[in-house]
Amino acid sequence: MAKLEVEVAGIKLDNPLILASGINDKTPEQWIRAHREGAGGVVTKSIGIEPRNGYDNPTIVELPYGLINAMGLPNPGWRGFLEMIKDYTFDFPLIVSIFGGTPEEFAFLAEKLSDVADAFELNLSCPHAKGYGMEIGQRPEMVYEVVKAVKDATDKPVMAKLTPNIDDITKLGLAAERAGADAVSAINTLKAIVIDVYARRPILSNRVGGYSGPGVKPVALRAVYDLARILDIPLMGMGGITTWQDAVEFLLAGASALQIGTAVSLRGWKVFREINEGIERYLESEGFSSVEEIVGLALE
């Protein structure tokens, strides 16, 4: 039997698949469900300082090759998050996604949530929430400042989630690495829009949203490939991973672990088990004994 266990930034995972921060990870019940269905770990919904209701409906549009969403970072705030999870224990790595408008806000959240997080993912790249994420995440100097501030505030592993909405994503990866990031996650959603031809206006209440799903996979794969060629820290790959073949491509491109989000909406929770089984069959049929043996082989 091929070994599916991986280790990323000191976090041990039973397999390389992680539930991505997004639309299927709002509650502890969803995290537990993901793990039961085969996810090696979980990234939470992005948590901010104050509670946010998010945008009015419609917030999601389904397209033939994925979803466009503009949720508006709805979350209970850090106090509400601690209240929500206080009666739960998790037997899998819990990566807490955090967002803020300044490096100080990110650092504050990391400090407050360090006792419950196994690691932090910094949402530096939300494409539709004004003042958060992408405005910060498109500037390498701000990525550096945020990562450095969080690293100073916690001893837990820190992962920077990078936006693809920039001319060269490697500038962001290098800035995160220089600031001490333990890993980077790539990619977040692509900035996108969809218009109702009869209403003659954008469908989403926020007009602009983030595109995810199979349609973004080649873009995400290229970003991971480019980052893996220049970074010394590990990568979490994501963006349209829907089948085991997609997963293997990302591993070969240099990702040490993979996040899956939209595929849960499109194919159901069983997607984790199906992809894991496919990776295992691939490894055995190709003569590999572990996932780690194939990470980055396409770079050589």
Q: How many CB atoms lie within 10 A of CB 95?
A: 27
Write down the pLDDT at residue 24: 87
Give percent of the chain above pLDDT 90.
Answer: 90
- Residue 97 · residue 46 · CB < 8 Å: yes
In this prediction, residue 22 has a pLDDT band, given cuts at 50, 70 and 90, of confident
> Residue 114 carries which DSSP code?
T
| Extended beta strands in the chain, E state | 6-8, 11-13, 17-19, 41-43, 60-63, 66-69, 94-98, 119-123, 158-161, 183-186, 190-193, 195-196, 201-202, 208-212, 235-238, 257-260
Sole residue written with tokens 């509670």: 51
- Residue 270 · residue 237 · CB < 8 Å: no
Mean pLDDT rounded to a whole number for the chain = 95
Token pair recorded at residue 278: 């496919």
Task: Please give the annotated binding residues, written as ranges.
Answer: 21, 45-46, 69-73, 123, 161, 187-189, 213, 239-240, 261-262
In this prediction, residue 23 has a pLDDT band, given cuts at 50, 70 and 90, of confident
Domain spans of the chain, in order of start: 6-299
Write down the pLDDT at residue 134: 53
SS3 of residue 135 by DSSP: helix
Would residue 169 show up in a list of annotated catalytic residues for this protein? no
In whole angstroms, how far apart are CA 104 and each of 108, 127, 150?
6, 21, 8
State the average pLDDT over residues 256-269: 96
CA dist 279 and 53 (Å) reads 38
Token pair recorded at residue 40: 């090696």
Q: Domain 6-299 - what CATH class?
A: alpha beta
pTM above 0.85, yes or no: yes
CA dist 203 and 235 (Å) reads 34
> In this structure, is the dihedral angle defined by the CA atoms of residues 84, 28, 114 and 182, taken in order, positive or negative?
negative
In this prediction, residue 131 has a pLDDT band, given cuts at 50, 70 and 90, of low
Task: Please give the annotated binding residues for substrate, written as ranges.
Answer: 45, 69-73, 123, 188-189
CA dist 234 and 119 (Å) reads 14
Identify the active-site residue in 95, 126, 248, 283. Answer: 126
Query: How, if at all, do strands 208-212 and 158-161 pair?
Result: unpaired
